[in-house]
Structure 1
């Protein structure tokens, strides 16, 4: 199989490396900077550059770019993609991306399926990519309404070749609601938390809790600004509910209301156990 990877950053680079390390597919890469493309070729992450001629021969295309850039790239290159090819994006939001890309696929005769690899590290770029990035992780797939079950099965099988442990099939609205909670809100909270003046004096006073809370504050502000605003409605709703809970904690602590504080802490513990499947 011929596979194109568009964008050789953390996720795109890891997709390319994983396919080369774990399969016999030919992988062609495109990147905005020639230096990274040369490095990817040198370390064996790609077999060569993705030219227009090679794109026309690819059976699968993974677009690992920021949302609006991904849409622009597909709009410009859709006429070159061969009919029946399977095209994935890897963006962290789906409603703003899938709608125009589903339309392009229908117009030009290829299959587009939204994809979101639930994996990553706090450092960006090709140098942080690895062929083992997706081991044990989930791949979320968002097919268009009416996509043939055989095509969805093909997309799932290709995802499993990257060593994802599970593949979740959902729709774009549910994806964006859940990601607002499981991913985007965590980045907002981490960023807000670490901006306390105490963070500059934490050494010697911090351990695992501090590391866990601040890890994802090391983010790419350009990408996350775009993702947050593309998903503003569900994210702002989650943040509003969180702010309400934090206000109740604040009020209980400030007024030394032990009974309310104890009950809120108990409720959090019980919900965590329920969420982790530890409550019978």
Structure 2
């Protein structure tokens, strides 16, 4: 049995990694700044939860005792968390190395190293931390999640519009499909000291097509409105850097994900 430590194991990808690892018979420790209480929907039976903070290193040693593999699903979207995102990865890896961990995997974003957008740049910086570490490491770069598009459409729908970015196509993927690929990458036998893999959703469409699917699934009365997106993110999307046509994964489509999550849209 492999002992897996999942950092960020209560997020949408992390908790699916935990669920799949438990189902496969592995021992799982979950690192969370605030572990969920018993009965919480983001807590998985069979996993051990540890209060630990990668921004300070507090609690990491206890969570990593006996671990063979670390899977990093942490996020740092804004403020202090964004500024310290890569440094947190360095603390996690240092603690993992001290604990005798053999391998680590990190969740990342396709072509994050080709964007100056802060969140994506932080992902690229963390990848570099992993590449320079003394462990055997792998970064799994994924396209945007189905939930991101749904959140954009839902936010606009409150104002009776469904926003669509001009010139943008998307290749959305289900978090569960990413979790399966991340767990597989983390558990594979030793290969190159550091590797980078990519995974993309099963379909590439203009954003307006996904907006129409979301509108039909939710019954929204919002009007689809196209607008330009300036700045680094707009440049990234217009260049198609969020797409990996060669990395299509035959997983859940956006329409299928909408149907599966109809009660929460």
TM-score band by shorter chain is 0.3 to 0.5
Between the two structures, name the one with larger relative contact order (CA 8 Å, sep ≥ 6): 2
Max radius of gyration: which structure?
1
- Write 1 or 2 for the structure with the bigger share of helix: 1
Report the TM-score, using the length of structure 2 for normalisation: 0.48
Report the TM-score, using the length of structure 1 for normalisation: 0.45
